[in-house]
Chain A
Amino acid sequence: MTTEQQVAKQEENRSVEGEAKPIQRQDVYLPATDIYERDDAIVLVADMPGVSEQDVDIHVENHVLTIKGTTARLDQAGDVLYSEFLPGRYERSFTLSNDIDSEGIKARMKNGVLTLELPKSAKARPRKIEVAAG
């Protein structure tokens, strides 16, 4: 099967698997993200205010890491007097290099900030080479 056919097949499967959901108008935001590199890992920090740890969805597929989050509904009491932010969804994807060990990804959600630790595979980590005497 060619790659194109595979992609078409995947899309087909997806459309069959996907359950029907009521259509909802919702804004999708791009979370502001910091990316750092450490000796042993890449660290990704994303702002997702209003998202609790239960409402975060992280998955890796074909070297693409996707983070998603849905904000809790805002308190509906009272009239809106002034508004600069709205509830909605956060979504962003990142392409991972082959050096990342996707099995070992660790995620932590605290105060609306998602921190992901993407460990480098053993062969991609810097190594010190001992010089044998003699």
Chain B
Amino acid sequence: MWPVINRFEHQLDPFAELNQLHRRMNRLFQSAMDHSAEFPPVNVRGTADEVVVSAELPGVDADKLDLTVEGRVLTLAGERSAGPQDEKWVVYRQERLSGSFMRTVRLPFEVDNDRIAARYENGILHVTLPRSESTKPRRIQISS
């Protein structure tokens, strides 16, 4: 028997877990060496009713963060300023990324744009996106 409702499409993808492992291995090797890994790193958690996207964005001015949702795609954009901008200062080491960034996250379902909430805490941005009512699975009563 087929499951009636597949909560998230990606669960149907037999390679999803493998791909994720592959990305994590890459990140492990890249993180120390270069900065080609995508910025900011994100985590996505979800239930049947909402999805929470978290992004590691230390030292970003929350006012300069730009969050947009279009269809089932969440876009995080912003700018991270470099350290002190004084010519007299000598720079010995600069490992922290600076400049503008943009990252898109595909959401598992359509969300209710009016109820999206974002919280910035200790350098981590959490965006809570509730599922739109119209796409929630409904139980259909059978009349006898």
Chain A at the B interface: SS class: loop
Q: What bracket does the count of chain A residues touching chain B fall in?
A: 35 or more
Q: Decide if B111 is an interface residue (CB 8 Å cutoff).
A: no
Whether B45 lies near A75 (C-beta < 8 A) is yes
Q: Nearest A residue to B10 by beta-carbon distance?
A: A81
Within 8 A of B (CB), among A41-95: 43, 45, 47-52, 71-72, 74-75, 77-85
Contact with A along B30-43 (1 / 0, CB 8 A): 01100000100111
Chain B at the A interface: SS class: mixed
A45 to chain B, nearest CB (A): 5
CA of A39 to CA of B56, assembled, Å: 33
Whether A36 lies near B83 (C-beta < 8 A) is yes
A34/B52 contact (C-beta < 8 A), A82-B43, A111-B60 known: no
Chain A positions within 8 Å of B143 at CB level: none
Whether B43 lies near A77 (C-beta < 8 A) is no
Whether A50 lies near B122 (C-beta < 8 A) is yes
